[in-house]
Amino acid sequence: MDFFEAVRIRRSVRSYTDESVPEEVMERALDAALLAPNSSNMQTWGFYWVRSPREKGLLVQACLNQGAARTARELLVVVAEPRRWKENRNEMLRILTGNQAPQFALDYYSKLIPFTYGFRWIAPLKWLLFGVVGWFRPTPRRPWSGRDIEEVSIKSAALASENFMLAISAQGFSTCPMEGFDEARVRRLLGLTRADRVVMVISVGRENPARGVWGPQIRFPRDKFIKRV
């Protein structure tokens, strides 16, 4: 399917038919998700494909038993996992060193990443440092706190989610990204830590033509949002 056609037909589907989703459709879409851009290539995300009938039933309950979850053939939980930054930083250094990467790249992962992602106990000092430097030259003001790192991870996971949903659309199936869920219950179900953030639960299936979408797609005038500066 043409990319722009996949973007155009993607809708949040609230009800699915009983048709199963081929496993290869999900696998291709997951591969597409892993190719999404992400901050510093740290890949602090996790994708939990819930397939066990018992766990799937509990996840549907945690999603407030809404139709998009209840009728879904497949359910994917997208998680931001900022705690993975150390192991992923080490893996990046290993790969870059083996490929004889330039020194600035090695310095970035060996010095800058630990400073921004770690040392959370001096977060106020990092805020002050970035602010002072910013008076004299352009400089990134964030991340300096644990909340900032969490936000960075959530952004990366959201980008991957869009890749996944468009890949599903391109293969003729439908999705619905859900934010209506009990995050504490989802974390407990998946064995996540309190540091992990459930970004969204994505349902997948074949759209029910009778009640899959609630009406025509509504978008406000483009000039309300697109500004030429």
Query: Across residues 192-213, what is the average pLDDT?
Result: 95
Residue 183 lies in a domain: yes
Q: Say yes or no to pLDDT of 223 above 90.
A: yes
> Tell me, what amino acid is at 19?
E
Q: Quickly count: other Cβ atoms within 10 Å of residue 43's Cβ.
A: 20
Could you tell me whether strands 174-178 and 74-80 are parallel, antiparallel, or unpaired per DSSP bridges? unpaired
Q: How far is it, in rounded angstroms, from Cα 202 to Cα 10?
A: 13
Residue 159 lies in a domain: yes
Query: Across residues 51-68, what is the average pLDDT?
Result: 97
Q: What is the CATH number of the domain that holds 205?
A: 3.40.109.10
Q: Say yes or no to pLDDT of 6 above 90.
A: yes
Q: Mind spelling out the 3-state secondary structure of 35-86?
A: CCCCHHHCCCEEEEEECCHHHHHHHHHHCCCCHHHHCCCEEEEEEECHHHHH
Residue 200 lies in a domain: yes
Residue 17 lies in a domain: yes
Residue 96 lies in a domain: no
Q: Say yes or no to pLDDT of 205 above 90.
A: yes
Q: How far is it, in rounded angstroms, from Cα 70 to Cα 160?
A: 24
Q: How far is it, in rounded angstroms, from Cα 146 to Cα 117?
A: 8
Q: How far is it, in rounded angstroms, from Cα 97 to Cα 105?
A: 10
Bridge-partner residues for 126, per DSSP?
Answer: none
Cis peptide before 216 (omega within 30 of 0): no
Residue 229 lies in a domain: no
pLDDT at 130: 86
Q: Say yes or no to pLDDT of 11 above 90.
A: yes
Which pairs from 119-122 meet CB under 8 Å and 24+ separation? 120/145, 120/146
Q: How far is it, in rounded angstroms, from Cα 80 to Cα 155?
A: 8
pTM: 0.93
pLDDT at 194: 93
> What value does the mean pLDDT of the chain take?
95
Residue 157 lies in a domain: yes
> Hunting for tokens 């290539």 — which residue is that?
41
Tell me if 32 sits within 8 A of 168, measured CB to CB: no
Query: Across residues 29-53, what is the average pLDDT?
Result: 97
pLDDT at 167: 98
Per-residue pLDDT reduced to its tens digit, 111-166: 999 998 888 888 888 889 889 999 999 988 888 888 999 999 999 999 999 999 99
Six token digits for residue 126: 């990092």
Which residues span the domain enclosing 69? 3-84+147-213
